[in-house]
Amino acid sequence: MMNAVLQFLETKRNEEEGAESIRNRISNVINELGFDYFTLVRQPGPESQAWDIMLEGKWPKGWPELYVKRKYAAVDPIVRYLGHSQRGYRWRDAMEAFQEDSHYKRMERMMVDARRFGLEDGYVFPVHGRRGLVGVLTVAGRPVELSPSQMAMMDALSKKAFWELLEALDPDAHERLSRPVSVALTRREMETLEYLGYGMTSNEMGATLGLSAHTVDWYMNGIQDKLNAKNRHHVVAIAFRLGLIS
């Protein structure tokens, strides 16, 4: 099963290879692994639309509509767990992490609905760049058991697939997200800074990142100190000038 992943990892992209060819290679390796569905997306901003963030993939017919109708995005444990993990994780790991959450019953309802659409189980593989979380590969469908070493290989696959496809579809975004950062900010500080650039409040950033507003403020204080900024508006101005956000 992992031979397909190894082949994908060892295949060097030709600079002339188009997005459609890369998409086909990604789809083929996901199918070889035994998953029925997958999505490869860019990390969205607060004003992003679905067609802006989707790089490739497919969900069961009707599932996205139900997901939106029942407002599952507000409680989705699979997405919320992204703020807690730097490596790939299984859906059930996310569910276990939120057993004490006040929305746990709605989370369970979401997973029951997902199974009705053939989404019995799945995995999530976050892709991090110099500016924090930049993309996510989600694979789902019938239950597939992945060992720790296979999970590590899938982490590598998600990164290679994301960066290759992003470069083919949006070279400017690829250059911006992969550009070296001259200021020594942590991954979480870069994520916080990115959302600050969208004009989000501490409460809004906390809800997105799975943190408290107090923790977000703590990160913001660290960013201000590192940039020698007077306030948050000054932080954004300096960050734009340095190319940390755009």
The CATH fold assigned to 181-242 is Arc Repressor Mutant, subunit A (1.10.10)
pLDDT at 83: 75
Q: Where are the domains of the chain?
A: 3-177, 181-242
pTM, two decimals, is: 0.76
pLDDT at 207 over 80: yes
pLDDT at 130: 66
| pLDDT tens per residue across span 54-94 | 899 999 999 999 999 999 988 999 998 987 788 999 999 99
pLDDT at 5 over 80: yes
pLDDT at 246: 64
pLDDT at 12: 85
pLDDT at 112: 97
pLDDT at 82: 85
| pLDDT tens per residue across span 125-184 | 999 876 678 899 999 999 999 999 999 999 999 999 999 999 999 888 888 777 766 677
Domain 3-177 class in CATH: alpha beta
124 band by pLDDT with thresholds 50, 70 and 90: very high
pLDDT at 175: 83
pLDDT at 1 over 90: no
| pLDDT tens per residue across span 19-30 | 999 999 999 999
Does 3-177 match 181-242 in CATH topology? no
Q: Which two tokens stand for residue 143?
A: 């239950």
pLDDT at 182: 67
- Residue 119 vs residue 179, higher pLDDT: 119
What number is the average pLDDT over the span 34-46? 85
pLDDT at 223: 92
The full DSSP string for the chain is -THHHHHHHHPPPPTT--HHHHHHHHHHHHHHTT-SEEEEEEPPPTT--HHHHEEEEE--TTHHHHHHHTTGGGT-HHHHGGGG-SS-EEHHHHHHHTTTSTTHHHHHHHHHHHHHTT--EEEEEEEEETTEEEEEEEEEES-----HHHHHHHHHHHHHHHHHHHHHH-HHHHHHHHS--SS---HHHHHHHHHHHTT--HHHHHHHHT--HHHHHHHHHHHHHHHT-SSHHHHHHHHHHHTS--
What number is the average pLDDT over the span 10-35? 90
- What does the mean pLDDT of the chain come to? 88
pLDDT at 102: 93
